[in-house]
Structure 1
């Protein structure tokens, strides 16, 4: 039996949705000259491809699970059941700026949260046909290969992914201080420009760790489960597991994660609900709905890794 045949039914539906979105993205990538691009805010773009990909994802998910809720980048909570314990968290095209320029580093990200805990995760890279996926408690995979985080233990050997702030009003000076702090301690920093894919690269061991500020739940929900199922840790800059709505995330193999948290803790910025609501309203979204989505972020303290007899780890 192949790994694919044994997948959870909800994960299979998410994979079907991600591949359908990927097909739309791949077709559009062949004719970027006719692409219609709108600007959500300076340097923050949305294309008709983002919207078409999101639509096919939502249709696929709700056809299978009409009673589930939806939290999606472009449409917020307009679709689905707003009171469901099951919430699909969707980024139809993470890395839109790369896509617009023809730089082949972007992906589709889909996660399913139940009562605030991410249970299923899919990140699909349509340019390489790489499918990253995980079910809580069942491990993480790329295509049919089991993923494990890297075994490096020294920060001086570590390759670390990051993302630059790019929106007007972002705290660039704060980021530059973080960048300098981390850069002088590690072997190298990389910034491809699609956070969901970056998180999968940590799970695959390509990076030893990753950090970024200014991210939304749909950027990190799927990747966070894929990392923990690959034996890694993910949290906010102080090492707590409350990161989904905090607009800051650090992830990595356990040894490097701990060292990176020590470097980043002085730069943490805890966000209150009213800040989240105000920011969402400024972006044209329902501030109250986005705050309500904070239920998708478990509030317990930093992850504890428990060894199972078969060598898997839970968090």
Structure 2
């Protein structure tokens, strides 16, 4: 992507994501209409829909030839990452939004010809904006995040993943994941994929495993993580498509192969 175009898109996207977050904070205590989607734990609120509508309207008005791949119905029928594609989650961590009124994020990943050019993860209630432009580093607000430390062993790693990995599930033998938990220094669950990927970029966790998440859950965050040296693949070590739901791992490169070969490959169903 041409640098001038990337800078222009970045500035517009930054303005819109901050404005969307301001609106959410203003309305955080207003009555909510809450619906379920695929199951009783898969929540959607009027705020999810209003936020996506705001972002979609601005994207389409300003960049009519760009495509939008999003969660709540205002996007396009995206079947490839040809051209410029915005992958948007208006509220990642809706359950946290509903029950905690914190620990949720707006996530935007912008790709050209399948290459991640711009990433945003906005921790709305903390007013912390993680951002990245390809080959220009990742930032927490206006402070550049340092590259990941050069060395790491799995015994000293902190990983993020939810507790479904440790229960009987359709993706992984839970006993293998229990062995991984015993191996590492510790595990954390935050309830928002976007925030966990931002934390990988920040270096406060060393990796994050997702179980069958949609592209909009991870698109912005993996761009952030890549800019500090983290790597993202599916559980086989192959590239992530960002067109369908996948289980993925984003982590420090020093521990990637050990996790994949000694745990994910052995436990995968």
Relative to the length of structure 2, the TM-score reads 0.87
In structure 1, the residue matched to 2:27 is 28
1:227 to 221, 225, 228: 225
SS, match of residue 248 in structure 2: strand
In the alignment, the residues of structure 2 paired with residue 259 and residue 21 of structure 1 have an alpha-carbon distance, to the nearest angstrom, of 40
Q: CA RMSD, aligned part only?
A: 2.6
Residues 46-98 of structure 1, C-alpha deviations (whole Å, 9 max, x = no match): 00000011011111222221111111111163489x99611110000000001
Selected match of 2:35 from 38, 43, 59: 38
- Distance in 2, matches of 1:179 and 1:210, equals 13
**Counterpart contact for 1:96–1:106, Cα < 8 Å:** yes
* Aligned-partner Cα distance in 1 for 2:164–2:173: 7
Partner of 1:292: none
Alignment of 1:275-286 (within 5 A): none
Q: Distance in 1 between matches of 2:220 and 2:51?
A: 17
Taking a change above 3 Å as real, the CA distance of residues 242 and 103 of structure 1, as seen in their structure-2 partners, is same
What residue number does 1:261 align with? Answer: 260
Contact between 1:113 and 1:119, CA under 8 Å: does it hold in 2? yes
Q: Quick one: distance in 2 between partners of 1:132 and 1:89?
A: 16
Unmatched tracts of structure 1, length 5 or more: 1-6, 270-315
Contact 1:109/1:123, CA 8 A, preserved across alignment: yes
The alpha carbon displacement at 1:151 in A equals 4.6
Deviation at 1:38, TM superposition (A): 0.4
Once the two structures are TM-superposed, the CA of residue 266 in structure 1 deviates from its matched residue by 2.9
Q: Which residue of 1 aligns with 2:116?
A: 118
Contact 1:237/1:249 (8 A) holds in 2: yes
Runs of 4+ residues deviating >4 angstroms: none
118-127 or 142-151, larger mean C-alpha shift: 142-151
- Report the count of equivalent residues: 259
Q: Which residue of 2 aligns with 1:181?
A: 179
Contact 1:105 1:192 in 2 (8 A): yes
Does structure 2 retain, via aligned residues, the 8 Å contact 1:93–1:108? yes
Cα distance in 1 for residues equivalent to 2:208 and 2:81: 33
Structure 1 residues 216 and 173: CA distance shift in structure 2, 3 A: closer
The residue correspondences of 1:66-145 to structure 2 (distance < 5 A) are 66-75=64-73, 77-78=75-76, 85-145=83-143
Gaps spanning 5+ residues in structure 2: where?
Answer: 1-5
8 Å contact from structure 1 (residues 150, 208) kept in 2: no
Distance (Å, rounded) in 2 between the aligned partners of 1:19 and 1:128:
12
Kept after mapping to 2: 8 A contact 1:243/1:249: no
- 1:179 deviation in Å? 3.1
Q: CA contact under 8 A between 1:70 and 1:77: conserved in structure 2?
A: yes
Work out the CA distance in 2 between the residues paired with 1:173 and 1:79.
27
When residues 173 and 242 of structure 1 are mapped into structure 2, their CA distance, relative to the original with a 3 A threshold, is closer
Does the Cα contact within 8 Å between 2:81 and 2:112 map onto a contact in 1? Answer: no
Shift of the 162–207 alpha-carbon distance from structure 1 to 2, 3 Å rule, reads same
Provide closer, same or farther for how the CA distance between residues 173 and 71 of structure 1 changes in structure 2, counting only shifts above 3 A. closer
